[in-house]
Structure 1
Amino acid sequence: MEQDAGQGTAPGTDGPGDVRPRPTPGGFAYTAADEEKRRGVRRMKTTATGLLLLVALVYVLATWAKNEGVGGWPGYVAAAAEAGMVGALADWFAVTALFRRPLGLPIPHTAIIPTKKDQLGESLGSFVGENFLSGDVVRDRIHALGVGARLGTWLADPAHADRVTAELATALRGALTVLRDSDVQAVVGEAITRRADAAEVGPGIGKMLERIVADGGHRRVVDLVCVRAHDWLVLHGDSVMDAVQGGAPGWTPRFVDKRVGERVYKELLRFVTEMRDMPGHPARGSIDTFLTDFAADLQTDSDTRARVERLKSEILGRGEVQDVIASAWSSVRSMIIAAAEDERSELRMRARASLMSLGARLASDERLQGKLEGWLEDAAAYVVTTYRTEITSLISDTVAGWDADQTSKKIEAHIGRDLQFIRINGTVVGALAGLAIYSVSHALGG
């Protein structure tokens, strides 16, 4: 009567007691734990079948006693036992029909799980999609969780902030390790060059220079140049005079060239000294005027702006500049990795402090909690409504990839024990119903 697929060597075993998982398509496997549960199912099957045999024996004995002329109780017992057998057999058929064909007979609508596995997977996917993957359900669930306050309280704990900081540092190091320097350098170089080419720099430089001149910031540069020029002239007076003499006509007497060179040097030194020592020197005013006019030309004069753009393109096109741009990534990468590995680095300390501050605000600020939860609800609702078909198809496709026999055995291993109680209950309830019907019929007939 019972066809137990678990008899003999279990799936994926080398012999009794040596149970090994056997994978099936879709990542589904009948495991040793499943086999242990199936042993429990077999014990319950034995109990249910034994109860059926006991009721059958009682029926035989009661019927024999009744036929031998024993009056009274044999009729009641036989009726109860007969109804108990009917109930037991009906429930046995129903339970067995879920997993296999009873007695191996091709009875319609039996072996439901093996033959209807794919349809069951599709129905399960549709059920999940309709009842769980809806925007309203997801929103209500996230709102009920109070994610904002919980996350805030969790992050405000220093130990948790340290843990998150460490995980972020590990993720950052991993990402930087995976990235190829040559690829990143090429992208960074291209991005900087493209952005610099696209943006006109003349007006921006002009505005910056205009502000610098207006604030007098350029005067310190002029002071520095005057000081350095004075010191250089003091140290290299002979060179200056030789240069002047070397440029004199050949027909002039040498003593005249020497006197001219000395005179030029003295005047040049006097001029630079006065510029250094006199903030109101006319030459300084000329420099101010020149810079002011140049700043205006950078912003308004098309010819000046075009020249600046050509100069910018020439500078960016030089190999030395491109090498500097590309090498910047290596420096930044090394700096970030070093900071991520050092638990006391400024980067990690700031990240930890920021996380704790965010946690404290989330824990106490209901408005911020509402914003965070609103973002999460919107994001989750968007995902489940947009990708509902893909999510449910994951269920149906996964079930479709399972082996029918293995699926039936696994499901039976998990719920078969409870199903055997249905057989036992059917036997008991059937017996009680049969006894009640017999008793009422006997009373009305007697």
Structure 2
Amino acid sequence: MTTTTRPGPAVARAVPTDEERRIALRSMKRLATGLLAVAAVVFAVAFALQEQVPWLGYVRAAAEGAMVGAIADWFAVTALFRRPLGLPIPHTAIIPTRKDEIGASLGAFVEDEFLSDDVVLGKLRSIGIARRLGGWLAQPANAERLTAEASVAARGVLTLLGDADVEDVVERLARRHLFEPEWAPTIGRVAGRLVADDRQHAVLDVVLDRAETWLEAHPEAFERMVSERLPRWMPGFVDRFVDDRAHREVLGFVRAVRDDPEHPLRAAVDDWLTEFTDALQHDPATIARVESMKAELVASPRVREFAAEAWASAKSALDAALRDPESELRTAMRQAVAEVGVRLASDERLAAKVDEWVTDAAAYVVRTYRHEIAGVITETVERWDPKETTEKLELQVGRDLQFIRINGTVVGALAGLAIFAVASGVQLLV
């Protein structure tokens, strides 16, 4: 026997399949019909022999009552699902003919009894959602499962997003937030703060170090640049002397500036940067010049290319990170999920706040959409095929209804026997 298992509040219970229900229903129908047949046979035998054997009158009366009870209850049970013997008897085939009314009544019942504020809020407050969720999330396997599902969903979203649409968004955002505001004042304010904090000294030191390294490694290149500017009629030894002297002087000057924090060149650079950052903020000509450069950049097709390259790079990196279970992104997601679970399970104040948020959200949904939620039941029942609905409901409760036929047979037999006994006793007294 194959069954499905559904978790209950405490233990799992087995739920029969439709085929198992169908087999059980047929078995009960045969049993109930068999009892009716037995009662009919007993009635026929007792009716034929009651003149020769007087006490068979009691058996006949019991069998007669059993048949009446069995037939009456068969009619009642059958009338719920179909017309008995196919006859158009009023108030039969109740389920298929009144399916829509039953669905509407069921929807109203669920709305009034199951979706009421007292029921929903009482249940939510009693189960401790935050602590249960926290305990579940704190388990590494569950954190990994949630992270994996979220990654699959995120990759699905990436697949659905059109590259051209995203590129348009990136381009519009870049134009709106990067190109529409004036650049010069912003650059001037940021650069002014850096200069005020003497951050330019570190940059100048790097430039000087790189210059010294290049001059030491490429003396011939520097000397060639100097020689090309000397007159061609000058003797070669003079060229070499000038080249060598110029190289040593420039190299010495770079080292002197690098080693002396108070070198005049440093002060000159500081003064120039201070004046330039101020001009970027307040000088109309400088601001206009920067805006002109910005306009040329905006008109360049490189903006669109930048948007495409930025999205392609971000999409590729994000997809790879979401795909790899050991990536830094997936690892961080797992850790974040587990940490949230631990906090929810251990922090009473946080758990109480989350429970309150969930309860308030559920209360809002129930109050706002109670009728629509219950309407799903009504609309679903209305869409059901009457025959299919009848069959499914009969599979669910038909087996139990057959006990009504069996009980009717037994009760009818006892009632018939009692009535006959009372009638016989009264007749003897008279």
Same fold by TM-score greater than 0.5:
yes
Specify the code of the residue in structure 2 equivalent to 1:148: A
Q: Does 1:101 align with 2:83?
A: yes
CA contact (8 A) 1:91 1:423 kept: yes
CA contact (8 A) 1:63 1:75 kept: yes
Equivalent of 2:353 in 371, 392, 405: 371
Q: Does 1:41 align with 2:25?
A: yes
Equivalent residue number for residue 11 of structure 2: none
Identify unmatched segments of 5+ residues in structure 1: 1-32, 247-253
Equivalent of 1:149 in 131, 134, 143: 131
Deviations 1:345-396 (A, max 9, x none): 2222222222222222122111222233233333333334333344333322
Distance 1:89 1:342, change over 3 A: closer
Equivalent of 2:383 in 378, 401, 409: 401
Identity %: 50
- The Cα of 1:307 is off from its aligned counterpart by 4.5
Taking the aligned partners of 1:356 and 1:237, their CA distance within structure 2 comes to 65
Identify unmatched segments of 5+ residues in structure 2: 1-16
Specify the code of the residue in structure 2 equivalent to 1:158: P
Counterparts of 1:32-431 in structure 2 under 5 Å? 34=18, 37-62=21-46, 68=51, 73-74=55-56, 76-225=58-207, 236=222, 239=225, 275-276=257-258, 278-300=260-282, 304-431=286-413
Distance 1:410 1:76, change over 3 A: same
Specify the code of the residue in structure 2 equivalent to 1:318: S
Deviations 1:263-293 (A, max 9, x none): xx89x95987765554334443343233223
Taking the aligned partners of 1:380 and 1:197, their CA distance within structure 2 comes to 45
Specify the code of the residue in structure 2 equivalent to 1:42: R
**CA-based RMSD:** 3.8
Specify the code of the residue in structure 1 equivalent to 2:79: A
- The Cα of 1:327 is off from its aligned counterpart by 0.4
CA contact (8 A) 1:152 1:360 kept: yes
Distance 1:174 1:288, change over 3 A: same
- The Cα of 1:397 is off from its aligned counterpart by 2.5
Specify the code of the residue in structure 1 equivalent to 2:144: D
CA contact (8 A) 1:135 1:382 kept: no
Deviations 1:324-356 (A, max 9, x none): 332022222222233233333222222222222
Specify the code of the residue in structure 1 equivalent to 2:320: A
Distance 1:229 1:360, change over 3 A: closer
Could you state the TM-score of these two structures normalised by the residue count of structure 1? 0.75
Deviations 1:50-89 (A, max 9, x none): 32343344445555566x3865x45544444443333222
Taking the aligned partners of 1:397 and 1:180, their CA distance within structure 2 comes to 36
Deviations 1:211-267 (A, max 9, x none): 211111112333445566787797546646865989xxxxxxx99xx9xxx8xx89x
Say which is worse superposed, 56-65 or 404-413, in terms of deviation.
Answer: 56-65
Taking the aligned partners of 1:411 and 1:196, their CA distance within structure 2 comes to 65
